[in-house]
Chains A and B, each alone.
Chain A
Amino acid sequence: MSTETDDIQQLADQEYKWGFVTDIEVDAAPKGLSEGIVRFISAKKNEPEWLLQWRLKAYRHWLTMTEPRWPNVRYNRIDYQDMVYYSAPKQKKQLKSLTEVDPELLRTYEKLGISLQEQERLSGVAVDAVFDSVSVATTFKEKLKELGIIFCSFSDAVREHPDLVREHLGSVVPAGDNFFAALNAAVFSDGSFCYIPKGVRCPMELSTYFRINAADTGQFERTLIVAEAGSYVSYLEGCTAPMRDNNQLHAAVVELIALGDNAQIKYSTVQNWYPGDKEGKGGIYNFVTKRGKCAGKNSKISWTQVETGSAVTWKYPSVLLQGENSVGEFYSVAVVNNYQQADTGTKMIHIGKNTRSTIVSKGISAGRGQNSYRGLVDVKRGATNSRNFSQCDSLLLGDKCGAHTFPYIEVKNTSSKVEHEASTSKIGEDQIFYCKQRGLSTEDAVNLIVNGFCKEVFRELPMEFAVEAQKLLGVSLEGSVG
């Protein structure tokens, strides 16, 4: 083992001797980040030279950058040399039955209404052949194939559709876009790729769940979705089940491209990463770059997110509205409880004429949570007759939490119109009492009131997702009032 490690260390330290390495029998790279590690990752994945070069460029750029300090969040310094940047997807330890699973976790699953079968899958119980999710996924994949839809892991896409990947990778979030995006570009492990051909309406919600070979989601995930003219796709990311991970830092990149006229992408996220314990210890840092580009006329990109997890969240799903009449939407629910911190919002960049954007942000703060909305509406000179409507509402549960709003608005022409509404309210003792007087428990009352507050966002979610999200909110806020 130690010799293996030494080998890798050597390899990692080598500058550019071997170029392509095809056969390395170890599962993990040593700690730390260097050009050698970037090469190692690329080699491990058998990547073509152009991708290696792309990673290296990103890495070199990253070296010149500093970690952003402007988000309204606090966390301990991250030691980038103290992390492992590659480990082969591990088989989860197989369990024989749910009785071997942490009862606390099962209780949460139950509250979320997750089926037994799904509980088994999530907790790594050996799955009965009848319920084999792989076979479900296979039929699913067949259907997509008939329509010419490509939906696969990022690695598969690099192998099987290199031209498509090469054309679009980094075209919305350039490799050196920001500190975490650059880090991701240098060391990303895997992710999803999705391509919808011209005029095709994807008949089902695509979710990472159905992706074959879906390894552990990984620390540095990369997603690329391309929709051609007249196509439509709805994509679901994440799940409501609590996600634990030993890696503290998660820095994903998602790029959406509504390439042709009338192309539409709807991207929904329910994020429930481990938020840390009640004292705020542990928990995941989620520093994500998500951006979409509406290149086609009348194209549309819609982000919907329900963020309940992570210790620290830093995330601004954005839309570049290039095509005339294109539409960008951002619907967000962000919940912070205990010591969680979230700095999240969106950027709507209006470039084309008659472009429209809608922002609906619902921030819920409980415990000692700190929730910031940060949004930019940037209407360029050429984006005449553009419209934006923003609504940012904050709900406070208790008096030790905080809500902050940082709306930035820039309008460089006179024919456009931007509206911004904001409100902050406390969950009313009178509202809770009213519910209790009708027979509801405090917990149900809070749940009801909070879900009512988020209604405008939940109705943008696909149906099953919405139901789960509502339950998730209840679990996240458990015990925060009364």
Chain B
Amino acid sequence: MLEIRNLHASINGTEILKGINLKVNAGEVHAIMGPNGSGKSTLAQVLAGRDAYEVTQGEVLYEGKNLFDLDPEERAREGLFLAFQYPVEIPGVNNTYFLKAALNAIRKHQGQEELDAIDFLKIVKEKMKLMEIDESLLNRSVNEGFSGGEKKRNEIFHMAVLQPKFAILDETDSGLDIDALRVVADGVNKLRRKDNAVLVVTHYQRLLNYIVPDFVHVLIEGRIVKSGGKDLALQLEEKGYDWVKDEVDNQPVQA
């Protein structure tokens, strides 16, 4: 579904991603873990198409297409979704209205009929229950005045409504208390299907107790230095990132 080959990206002339290789198949959940500043969000934003980042080398294939040929909105319409680490406030724009516009843009692109307000509301009601979202969040402006936790929940709610093929969750767990974490994870798990994939970006392994990944990758200083199964997350939790760093430092540089 998604294949990243030797991806290098920089911002303001500083290279942040220094050769990422990663392959995600349909039906899989991958976790990317790494210390603060290692480039996790950069990777997420580059995949979503933020133009502040410059891709200097490498390529990404998404469903066989060159991802970098697509504008950010085209990627979204092709089913790529990013739950932002820092969701953006859009004052005065009703959350439900926003989501309806988004869903219809996606449906239109995919050759489906646009939904009217009534049909859309049905979907919203259903997903609202699934995500245990408070109705008031729907009638407020997009993320405006939301608490940190509300913002994260709202991102997953967007995901539930938009039903992406490939979802990237950037630190969706940070700022959530344990109950909210469980709800969010439940929501993500219920959306897991054979034909979609999730990339969970996180600093802690806590979330991975609930969203169990098929693969775990450790990102340090812009490179994936270690990959493994779900147990790797537990090891990291126990020993910290320094352990991987030391291990890497003692290895010859990878080709």
Q: Show the binding face of A for B, using Cβ within 8 Å.
A: 428-431, 433-442, 444, 448-449, 451-456
CA distance A363 to B191 in the complex (A): 43
Whether B88 contacts A436 by the Cβ 8 Å rule is: no
Whether A439 contacts B73 by the Cβ 8 Å rule is: yes
Known contacts: A439-B106, A444-B105, A448-B98. The answer to whether A434 contacts B92 by CB under 8 A is: no
Report if B39 contacts A (CB, 8 A): no
Whether A436 contacts B92 by the Cβ 8 Å rule is: no
Q: Which of B75, B88, B92 meets A454, CB within 8 Å?
A: B92
CA distance A444 to B84 in the complex (A): 20
Provide the residues of chain A in CB contact with B88, threshold 8 Å.
428, 430-431, 433-434
Q: Which of A429, A430, A437 meets B76, CB within 8 Å?
A: A437
CA distance A451 to B90 in the complex (A): 10
Q: Which of A430, A438, A441, A455 meets B158, CB within 8 Å?
A: A438
Report if B101 contacts A (CB, 8 A): yes
Whether A435 contacts B48 by the Cβ 8 Å rule is: no
Which of B72, B84, B103 is most buried by chain A, counting CB atoms within 10 A of its CB? B72
As a 0/1 sequence over residues 58 to 81 of chain B, the CB contacts with chain A under 8 angstroms (1 = contact) are 000000000000011101110001
CA distance A50 to B113 in the complex (A): 65
Interface residues in B81-117 (C-beta closer than 8 Å to A): 81-82, 84, 87-93, 98-99, 101-103, 105-106, 109
Instruction: Across the interface, name the chain A residue whose C-beta is closest to B93.
Output: A452
Whether B72 contacts A448 by the Cβ 8 Å rule is: no
Known contacts: A438-B98, A441-B105. The answer to whether A433 contacts B50 by CB under 8 A is: yes
Q: How large is the interface on B (under 10, 10 to 19, 20 to 34, 35 or more residues)?
A: 20 to 34
Whether A448 contacts B73 by the Cβ 8 Å rule is: no
Minimal beta-carbon separation of B232 from chain A (angstroms): 29
Given A437-B82, A452-B91, 15 further pairs, Cβ under 8 A: A430-B88, A431-B88, A433-B48, A434-B87, A434-B90, A435-B102, A438-B76, A438-B99, A439-B105, A439-B109, A440-B101, A444-B105, A451-B92, A452-B90, A453-B91
CA distance A256 to B81 in the complex (A): 53
Whether A439 contacts B76 by the Cβ 8 Å rule is: yes
Whether A436 contacts B90 by the Cβ 8 Å rule is: no
CA distance A434 to B81 in the complex (A): 11
> Could you write out 13 A-B pairs with CB less than 8 Å apart?
A430-B88, A434-B87, A435-B98, A437-B49, A437-B73, A438-B162, A439-B102, A439-B109, A440-B73, A440-B105, A441-B73, A449-B90, A451-B92
Question: What are the 4 A-B residue pairs with the smallest beta carbon separation, nearest first?
Answer: A452-B92, A452-B93, A455-B92, A438-B102
Provide the residues of chain A in CB contact with B76, threshold 8 Å.
436-439
Which of A430, A449, A456 is most buried by chain B, counting CB atoms within 10 A of its CB? A430
Provide the residues of chain A in CB contact with B71, threshold 8 Å.
436
Whether B73 contacts A436 by the Cβ 8 Å rule is: yes
CA distance A431 to B72 in the complex (A): 13
Minimal beta-carbon separation of B55 from chain A (angstroms): 16
CA distance A454 to B89 in the complex (A): 15
Whether B93 contacts A449 by the Cβ 8 Å rule is: yes
CA distance A454 to B92 in the complex (A): 8
Whether A452 contacts B50 by the Cβ 8 Å rule is: no
Q: Which of B82, B89, B101, B109 meets A444, CB within 8 Å?
A: B101
Provide the residues of chain B in CB contact with A430, threshold 8 Å.
88
Minimal beta-carbon separation of B198 from chain A (angstroms): 16
Report if B10 contacts A (CB, 8 A): no
Provide the residues of chain B in CB contact with A439, threshold 8 Å.
73, 76-77, 102-103, 105-106, 109, 162
Interface residues in B139-188 (C-beta closer than 8 Å to A): 141, 158, 162
Minimal beta-carbon separation of A412 from chain B (angstroms): 36
Q: Which of A437, A438, A441, A453 meets B92, CB within 8 Å?
A: A453
Whether B90 contacts A431 by the Cβ 8 Å rule is: yes
Report if B52 contacts A (CB, 8 A): yes
Whether B101 contacts A436 by the Cβ 8 Å rule is: no
Whether B101 contacts A437 by the Cβ 8 Å rule is: no
CA distance A434 to B82 in the complex (A): 9
Provide the residues of chain B in CB contact with A453, threshold 8 Å.
91-92
